[in-house]
Chain A
Amino acid sequence: MTGARAALRRAGIAFALFPLLALLAPLIAREKPWITGRAGETILSAPVPFDPDGVDLDRRLTPPGRRHLLGTDELGRDVLARVLHGARLSFAAGLLASALALGLGAALGTLAGWAGGRTDRAVLLVLQIVQALPALVLVIAGAAFLRPSFLVAALLIALTGWTDAARLVRAGTQRLRNQAFVDAARASGASDARLLFVHVLPHALPPALATLPYVLGSAVLTEAGLSFLGLGAPPPAASWGRALAEARNLLPDAWWCVLPPGFALFLLVFTARRLGDAFLGRRGDVQSRLA
C-alpha cells in the first residue's frame, strides 16, 4: 500500500508542475523586469525576459543560444516564453473541458440510472450516437459552424468526452438503487433527493471522478489537434498546437520550433495519465486507456 501511496505522491507532484507553470508563466516570462531601478535601469530581470507576443523581426528563427534559450520562431518571438504561456491555454482548456465533461456525464448517468425505463433508453441512445462519432470528427464538424475560440473548443470537447463518466455513474447508481441501506432510508421516509444525494451519489461518483486525469489528458490532446488544424483559440494566443502547425512549414530548418511544444504536450498528457494510473492503483488497466 505504501508503494501505491508513494506512486500517487510522485505522480501528483509531477502533474502539479503544469498548473504551477501555467499560473506563474506571466511572472517567469515577461519583458518587464522584476525590479526596476529609479532611472528605469533593470536591476533584476525575469528569468525569461521576453513577452510571448514580443515580435522581433530582426531575430527571426535564431537557433537556441544564450539570449534565447530555445530560439525564436518565424516572427522572432521567444519559443520558451511561448511554450510557457502555452501551458496556460492547454491546461485551462483541458481542465475546463474535462470538468464540464464529468459534470455532464455525472448528471446524465445519474438521470439514466435513477429514472430507468424510457429515460434510461433515451440517454443510452444519445450516448451511442455521440460515441459513434470519433471525438475529433465531431469537434471539427462543430468548429465548422462556430467561430473558432477557446471556449467553443472546450465546450465541443466536453460534448464528446462525457460518455465514459456517464456509463460509470449510471452503472453505480443502478447497482446502489436497490441496496438494503438505500431501501432502509427509503422506508424511513427519506425523499428522492435525499436518497440520491446522501446515500447513492457519494458512492456512485468517485469512480467517475477518478477518471478526471484521463479525461483531461484526452481533452488536452483533442484541443492540441484542433489548434494544429487551425480551429482552436485564434492567433496571437500562444498555443502548442498552432505553434506545431506553424513549425511544420519551417521544417527541416527550425527544429527548435518543433521539439519544445511537442515535448511539453507529451509531458502534460503523460503526467496526467500517470496520475490517472496512480488513482486507479492498477497499472495496465486497458478499459480506462481507451478514452
Chain B
Amino acid sequence: MLRFLLRRVASALMTLLGVLALVFGLVTAAPGDAASLAARAGGNRAVPVSPEALAAFRHLYGLDRPVAERFVTWTLRALRLDFGRSLVDGQPVADRVARALPTTLALNIAALLLACLVGVPLGVAAARRPGGRLDRISGFVCDALFSTPSFVLGLLLLLVFSGWLRVTPLFADAETGLRGFVLPVVTLTLASLALVARFVRVCVAAALADPAALAGRARGEGPPAEIGRALRRSAASFAAMGAALVPAVVSGSILVERVFSLPGAGGLLAEAVFARDLPTVLALTLLSAAVVVAASLAGDLVTAAFDPRTADADEALPGGVTP
C-alpha cells in the first residue's frame, strides 16, 4: 500500500513536470517571442518598436539565456506561483487568477454537489429495475443530456428563463447577486448529472445482480440494506468516476462562464487567449492540469483504500475507470 502510494505520487509529480515542459515548449516554439508579443499587446500596434528596445526587453527578462537555464528558472518561479505580469494590465498573473478563482470554484462545487444529490438517487432508482420504465426514460434523458454541449444547454436555459419568463438576468453582474448564479449552476449540474446517474446505475445494477445481493435477500434483508451494500461495494468505482468527471467539468466551466459572462477563471482564459496574454494563459493551463492530476491522484488513492486489489495490480494505469 505504501509502495503504491509513493509510486502514484511520484507518477503524479512526473506528469506535472511533463505538463510544465510541454507548456514551456509551446512558449519557446511559438512564433514571435514574449518580447514582440508584449510590444504588440502592450501598446498601439501602429507604432513600431525599435530592435534595440526589443533586445533590452529580452535581456531584462532573461530571454537571451540558454533554453535549459530558462526552463529551470521558469519552473522554479512557477512552483512559487510567480507567473509574471499580465500583458494586458500589468497586474501580477497570480492576483488576476486569484480574483477569478472563487467564482469558478463556487460554481463548480455547487454544481457537483447538486449533480450528486440528484444523480445518485436517480441512478439507484433506475438500477433497481433494469429495463423498467424509469430506467429507460432516465437512460434516454441522460443520453440526450450527454450529447448536448454545455454551452447550448446554457443558451437554451437563458432563452427560456431570462428571455421568455424573465425570472433570471441575461447578464450576471454585481447587482444581480445570487440570482445570476442560478442558471450557470443548473447548466453545469445538468451537464454532470448524466454521467453521475448513468455511472451509479451501472455500478449499482451490477452489485444488485451479484450473488452477495442474492444471499442478502435470502437472509431477509430489505431494500434499504440491500442498496446500502450495493453502494458500499461500488465506492471504489465512484471515486474513479469523480476523478474522471473533473476534466469534463473544467472544460464545461470555460464555456458556461462565457455563455453567462461570469468573471471566473474560464472566462479569464478565453479573454487571455484573445488578448494573446501568454503569462495568464500559461498559468491557467498549469492550474487546470494541477487540478486534474490532483483529482486523479485522490481518486486512485480512495479507490485503493476501498479495494486494495487495485494497489497490487502492477500495470494499473492511473486515471483509468473500470465500472
Can you report 12 A-B residue pairs in the complex whose CB atoms are below 8 A from each other?
Answer: A126-B18, A131-B319, A132-B293, A134-B251, A137-B269, A244-B155, A251-B170, A252-B163, A252-B166, A252-B170, A270-B144, A289-B195
Q: How far is the CA of A248 from the CA of B255 in the complex (A)?
A: 12
The A-contacting residues of B in range 180-235, CB under 8 angstroms, are 195, 198-199, 201-202, 205
Does A83 belong to the interface (CB within 8 Å)?
no
Q: Are B146 and A289 in contact (CB under 8 A)?
A: yes
Q: Are B22 and A262 in contact (CB under 8 A)?
A: no
Against A, the Cβ 8 Å flags (1 = close, 0 = not) of B245-261 are 01110110011001100
Q: How far is the CA of A136 from the CA of B30 in the complex (A)?
A: 19
Does A128 belong to the interface (CB within 8 Å)?
yes
Give the A-binding residues of B (Cβ under 8 A). 11, 14-16, 18-19, 22-23, 26, 30-31, 139, 143-144, 146-149, 151-152, 155-156, 158-159, 162-164, 166, 170, 195, 198-199, 201-202, 205, 241, 244, 246-248, 250-251, 254-255, 258-259, 269-270, 272-274, 276, 278, 281-282, 284-285, 288-289, 292-293, 296, 317-323
Q: Are A224 and B149 in contact (CB under 8 A)?
A: yes
Instruction: Give chain A residues whose Cβ lies under 8 Å from the Cβ of B16.
Output: 132
How many whole Å from B111's CB to the nearest CB in chain A?
15
* List of 6 A-B pairs having minimum Cβ-Cβ separation, nearest first: A252-B163, A136-B251, A270-B147, A129-B18, A134-B247, A262-B152
Instruction: Give chain B residues whose Cβ lies under 8 Å from the Cβ of A258.
Output: 155-156, 159
The B-contacting residues of A in range 116-169, CB under 8 angstroms, are 124-126, 128-129, 131-138, 140-145, 167
Q: Is the interface of A mostly helix, strand, loop or mixed?
A: helix
Extra 15 A-B pairs, beta carbons < 8 Å, given A137-B269, A144-B273: A125-B15, A129-B19, A136-B254, A141-B281, A144-B276, A225-B255, A244-B151, A244-B155, A251-B163, A252-B164, A259-B156, A262-B155, A262-B156, A270-B147, A273-B147
Contact among B15, B149, B241, B272 with A225 in the assembled complex (CB-CB below 8 Å): B149
Q: How far is the CA of A131 from the CA of B296 in the complex (A)?
A: 10
How many whole Å from B198's CB to the nearest CB in chain A?
6
Give chain A's interface residue range (CB within 8 Å of chain B): 35 or more
Instruction: Give chain B residues whose Cβ lies under 8 Å from the Cβ of A81.
Output: none
- A229 with B198: in contact, given A144-B281, A270-B143 (CB under 8 Å)? no
Q: How far is the CA of A265 from the CA of B153 in the complex (A)?
A: 11
Instruction: Give chain B residues whose Cβ lies under 8 Å from the Cβ of A247.
Output: 155
Against B, the Cβ 8 Å flags (1 = close, 0 = not) of A242-270 are 00100110011101001100100110011
